Structure 1
Amino acid sequence: MSRVDTRPSAVVAEGWGWRYGTRKAWAARRISLRIEPGERVLLLGASGAGKSTVLHALAGVLGGADEGEQAGRLLVDGADPASARGRAGLVQQDPDAQAVLARVGDDVAFGCENLGVAREETWARVREALDLVGLDVPLDRSTSALSGGQKQRLALAGALAMRPGLLLLDEPTANLDPDGVAEVRDAVGRVVDRTGATLVVVEHRVDVWLPLVDRVVVLGTPSGGGEGVIADGSPSDVLVDRGAALAAGGVWVPGIPPRRPGPPAAAPGEVLLSARDLRVARARGVAVAGPMDLEARPGEVLGITGANGAGKSTLARTLAGLLAPFGGDVLASPRLAEGVGAAPVRWSSRQLLTRIGTVLQSPDHQLLARTVRGELEVGTRALRLPEAEIRRRTDELLGSLRLARLADANPHTLSGGEKRRLTVAAMLATRPRVCVLDEPTFGQDATTWAELVAIVARLRDGEDGEPAAVVAVTHDAEVLAALHAREHRVVPAGVRS
């Protein structure tokens, strides 16, 4: 394959920082570094270090003075990133949130059309970009019919079609199965080899990206007093020579695993929620998975696994009473269903609160309030609990999930990992007997991953009350191992599991 004509970009940060308009604390602060054209950089840091903020700033999408306050200077090719349209291409972590148009070709062409590229040139770039990322599908293929790995390669193709000199990847494999991770990583490798573009990737799966990068930069957390760049060098200099200290601060370091909780405290209890001959569907008339039988018991974690697009999230929503079964039944035990009937899909939202709690895959789809504290109070206020009890539960969760410093922040300004902890905390506030968690640990640093896993283990074991039944959808095999989960692999519709 011939080399694509792209001029790699240079990045300069001089004491740069950003504070969102709705936040008192800085999201990123006192960052100084230079990235030379064509360098491949892995950007690391604990949750809340400002990694995503830096990428959004480099992409020119943070907004102006009305949306926040900037300190210092940040330049791409010597100019303010907001004025360098098309020089930076950003690919984010949620595959489903990035497709803008219904057909593959139109979606890849979208950025070029916004830049005013001529039609003939646009479609030549579309085909070239799809070829470069290895997405061999018809241009009229529905974007919704793609797997997670294909959707991320689609987003990568859309960025490439604009011929950016700077490629920015914000945890692009966070929600992908192992095959999807390899697809995206290999596609990025082909892209940087053929274009020479400067690469900055934020990822917690450090070992996946080490073969592609030549430099590792680690950011400190402003709230923890570790502002700016705290480590910078070759992968071996940073991750080997300073690995122990970085791991202690929450950075994922290969070979230094986070702590794990102990095994279940007791044998599982009687079934709280069961599925019989269940088939699930995203849209009417089309089953995506099943038939299947499964049971959720207190004192046990049921791990839901399977390939991207297999129907795991659809199954989770069906078990949680948010979607009607396409076929078969989801039934609550008499104890769980007391006073409300056996079918969770018929329960009101208030009846679900203390019975089945849900954490959706995308945190933004679940955020309702203007502040983090308000978000934690939504469920308890719906239950009409006394004010003192609402405050007690809220303060406890703010502390245990490291959200206290963000209590007055707008939830939508939080990092992806912080949003995930917030949605988990909001579910825990109403103390449901069954907890359905869709990718509960995505976006977490090593410290917050361990803390979230420990919280799920406490739920399972009933350390703060009665043992709960936990259903966890995850691609993270380490989560299942740490929680001693019983695995149920979702298979395509028509194949019995």
Structure 2
Amino acid sequence: MTAVAEPVPASITAKGWGWRHPGRTRWAVRNIDLTIEPGQRVLLLGASGAGKSTLLHGLAGVLGDQDEGEQAGELTIDGVSPADSRGRSGLVLQDPDSQLVLARVGDEVAFGAENLAVPRNEIWPRVRQSLDDVGLDVPLNSSTTALSGGQKQRLALAAVLAMQPGLLLLDEPTANLDPAGVLEVRDAVLRVLNRTSATLVVVEHRVEIWADVVDRVVVLDSDGGILADGAPATVLRHESTRARLIEAGVWVPGYRPETPTVRTGSGTDLLQASGLSVARTKRGPAVLSGVDLTLRRQEAVSVLGPNGAGKSTLALTLAGLLRPRGGGLTALEPLARGAGATPYEWKSADLVNRIGTVFQEPEHQFLTNTVREELEFGPRRVARLTEEEVRRRIDPIAERLRLTGLLKANPFTLSGGERRRLSVATMLATNPDILILDEPTFGQDANTWAELVTLLVELIHGGTCVVSVTHDREYTAALGSRIAAVDGTSATLEAAA
């Protein structure tokens, strides 16, 4: 086997650096003065919207030129503009599906190295080494679409490692993974860093996962500049610094914001699954069978289980977006209200104000060019409200979810956490009887997490049924959820959290 050369660790320098997206008055990030030495391992924190992802994208050289935004100051890797040093850095995004290109595992890992014109005889040793590094033990001709979420995340990491970057940039790499997958991806990163000494910058809201394995914590201030910078023990545990971070909404180990107490009641039955079987595709095999579940007003249900077990498929079937493979799924009259007993057969206008769905990838449900238009879309077409009634409905939601200052922004230029809050807000604006959310808390800082939980608790008290696919046990407990535990064959109901 051909020996695989190791990458040279990269250095980072930012001098008054900032970036503003086109058409935005507010800078996504600004006044960043920062030096990161070769081989350092840095955990990058900050409130939702503070500019963490923008900084990573800037370092990866993918923000574009002056026609695609406005840059201030200077940002360099080894003294060179990131756009002129592509290949020195490798970026792994929150959603692995968004960066998978090819159909087979081996081709996917080789793709980046091929684009860097690495000689063919060097590429395949790199491919095998990278797959070994991340612990993805599957044949090279395996289908990329058949992998679980955790496997896809490791595949995306392997594809970046095969490029041998001196700078590894990770944007919430464990965002949608189950607890076992979180540790698998983190440990894969550590194995690579121990072997290559590459520089690491990782953005992650799950601070406790990385706090003990990085050298340094850098916290971005939402108003620009650096809020805190130092060793993890100093930044995360020193009393005065810890208090400032909590106020800013940064998650710190051992802290959970206060939320209202849930008062669940025995509300009216809305939707009943009896012996339900669900499948991801029309002709694909059933991923869950024999599901018995009744959704009621004034309650929360959390769907828990490992990646690939069928949680999202069950949620989309309950939402009327996938046809049941077998068994029964019946909308009872308090929900159906004359639309019929089969949600999958409802017209979209009948569905949206009865069962609202927030997808795992927020951008998959955006339809317009501004945040305001996105919020107004449902109420205008479903409820037939006047202009004044539309404003009275969406303005409080926008304020609660901290979207007021973004109403003129293009939804696709928002941060990951902002896009998630917008996707939730668009469904809240249609006031559905059942709200189904897939990973609703990813990308949220402590303050926006608490506001989202508070808003959902109020909805439950008001009579809404909230169903969440989630790995967030604290969120599940805060909503007082009944638990539907999914194991890849069926779903077992458990008592409230």
Instruction: Specify the TM-score bucket, using the shorter chain as the normaliser.
Output: over 0.9
Corresponding residue of 2:318: 319
Deviation at 1:493, TM superposition (A): 3.2
Distance 1:286 1:267, change over 3 A: same
- Structure 1 partner of 2:357: 358
Aligned to 1:346: 345
Further displaced range: 112-121 or 49-58: 112-121
Structure 1 residues 202-257: Cα deviation after superposition (integer angstroms, max 9, x where no partner): 000000011220100000003xxxx1111000001111111122111100010121
* Residue in structure 2 matched with residue 298 of structure 1 by the alignment: 297
- Residue 74 of structure 1 aligns with an amino acid whose one-letter code is L
* 1:270 Cα deviation after fit: 2.0
Which residue of structure 2 lines up, in the alignment, with residue 275 of structure 1?
273
Q: Distance in 1 between matches of 2:117 and 2:99?
A: 21
Partner of 1:253: 252
> Who is 1:42 aligned against?
43
Partner of 2:120: 119
Show the counterpart of 1:193: 194
1:414 is the counterpart of 2:414 = yes
CA distance in 1, matches of 2:265, 2:386: 35
Paired residue type of 1:236:
A
> Structure 2 vs 1, CA of residues 255 and 494 (structure 1 numbering), >3 Å: closer, same or farther?
closer
TM-superposed deviation, 1:386: 1.3
SS of the residue corresponding to residue 318 of structure 1 reads helix
Aligned to 2:228: 231
The alpha-carbon distance between structure 1 residues 135 and 63, as it changes in their structure 2 partners (threshold 3 A), is same
1:375-390 pair list within 5 angstroms? 375-383=374-382, 384-390=384-390
Q: CA separation in 2, counterparts of 1:333 and 1:353?
A: 16
SS at match of 1:335: helix
Counterpart residue number, 2:174: 173
2:69 counterpart of 1:71: no
TM-score (norm 1): 0.96
Contact 2:110 2:162 in 1 (8 A): yes
Counterpart in the other structure of 1:447: 447
Matched with 1:392 is 392
Give CA deviations for 1:246-279 in whole Å, capped at 9, x if unaligned. Answer: 1111000101211122022x42212111111111
Q: CA deviation at 1:4?
A: 5.3
SS in 1 for 2:420: helix
Aligned equivalents of 1:57, 1:490: Cα separation in 2:
39
Query: Once the 2 structures are TM-superposed, how far is the Cα of residue 95 of structure 1 from its aligned partner?
Result: 2.7
CA contact (8 A) 2:15 2:33 kept: yes
Q: 1:496 to 1:402 in 2, by over 3 A?
A: closer
Deviation larger for 93-102 or 413-422: 93-102
Q: Distance in 2 between matches of 1:327 and 1:96?
A: 29
- Contact 1:87–1:165 under 8 Å retained in 2: yes
CA distance in 2, matches of 1:73, 1:468: 50
- Aligned pairs for 1:482-493 (under 5 A) are 482-493=478-489
Q: Which amino acid aligns with 2:267?
A: G
Structure 1 position 480 matched with structure 2 position 476: yes
What corresponds to 1:309 in structure 2?
308
The alpha-carbon deviation at position 22 of structure 1 amounts to 2.4
Preserved contact between residue 393 and residue 429 of structure 2 (Cα < 8 Å): yes
Q: Distance in 1 between matches of 2:4 and 2:205?
A: 30
The one-letter amino acid of 1:206's match is V
**Conserved 8 A contact 1:301-1:471:** yes
Instruction: Say if 1:290 and 1:492, in contact at 8 Å, map to a contact too.
Output: no
Could you tell me how far 1:124 is from its partner in structure 2? 1.2
Instruction: Give the stretch that moved more between structures: 58-67 or 252-261.
Output: 252-261
CA RMSD of aligned residues (A): 1.3
Rounded to whole Å, the distance in 1 between the matches of 2:279 and 2:391 is 39
CA contact (8 A) 1:333 1:342 kept: yes
Q: Match of 1:7?
A: 8
Q: Please give the alpha-carbon distance, in whole angstroms, between the structure 1 residues aligned to 2:73 and 2:213.
A: 30
Corresponding letter in the other structure for 1:229: I
Is residue 13–residue 75 contact of structure 1 (8 Å, CA) maintained in 2?
yes
Tell me the SS of whatever aligns to 1:211: coil
Q: In structure 2, do the counterparts of structure 1 residues 447 and 3 end up closer, same or farther at CA, with 3 Å as the change threshold?
A: farther
Q: By how many angstroms is 1:152 displaced?
A: 0.9
Task: Decide whether aligned partners of structure 1 residues 212 and 3 sit closer, same or farther in structure 2, where only a CA change above 3 A counts.
Answer: farther
Does the 8 Å contact 1:271/1:295 carry over to 2? Answer: yes
Question: Partner letter of residue 451 of structure 1?
Answer: E
> What does the per-residue CA deviation read over 1:362-385, in whole Å, with 9 as the maximum and x for residues that have no partner?
001011110000000110111222
Closer/same/farther in 2, CA of residues 3 and 112 from structure 1, 3 Å limit = closer
Shift of 1:338: 1.5
**Which residue of 2 is the match for residue 240 of structure 1?**
237
Mind listing any 5+ residue stretches in structure 1 that lack a counterpart?
A: none
Residues 287-342 of structure 1: per-residue CA shift (max 9 Å, x gap): 11222111111111011011101111111111011110111122111111111101
Number of residues of Structure 1 aligned to a counterpart in Structure 2:
487
For the residue of structure 2 that corresponds to 1:412, the secondary structure is helix
Determine helix, strand or coil for the equivalent of 1:237: helix
Encode CA deviations 1:34-89: one digit per residue, 9 max, x unaligned: 00000000000001100000000000001111110000000011100011111100
Aligned to 2:142, the other structure's residue is in SS state coil
- Is the Cα–Cα contact under 8 Å of residues 290 and 491 in structure 1 kept in the other structure? no
**For the residues of structure 1 that align with 2:83 and 2:118, how far apart are their CA atoms?**
19
Q: Which residue of 1 aligns with 2:218?
A: 217
Ranges in structure 2 where 5+ consecutive residues have no aligned partner = none
**Cα pair 2:131 2:137 within 8 Å, conserved:** yes
What is the one-letter code of the residue matched to 2:373? G
Q: What code does the residue aligned with 2:410 have?
A: N
Distance of 2:430 and 2:396 partners within structure 1: 13
| SS class of match (1:66) | helix
CA shift for structure 1 position 494: 6.6
Looking at structure 2, the residues matched to 248 and 239 of structure 1 have their Cα atoms a distance apart, in angstroms, of 13
CA contact (8 A) 1:3 1:194 kept: no
1:496 deviates by: 7.3
Task: Specify whether residues 449 and 177 from structure 1 end up closer, same or farther in structure 2 by C-alpha distance, changes over 3 A only.
Answer: same
Q: Does the 8 A contact of 2:279 with 2:325 survive in 1?
A: yes
Give the letter for the 1:304 counterpart.
V
Paired with 2:137 and 2:275, the residues of 1 have a C-alpha distance of: 36
Q: Is the Cα contact below 8 Å between 1:18 and 1:28 reproduced in 2?
A: yes
Structure 2 counterpart of 1:209, which letter? Answer: W
Identical-residue share of aligned pairs (%): 61
Looking at structure 2, the residues matched to 162 and 15 of structure 1 have their Cα atoms a distance apart, in angstroms, of 30
For residues 339 and 227 of structure 2, the distance between their equivalents in structure 1, rounded to whole angstroms, comes to: 55
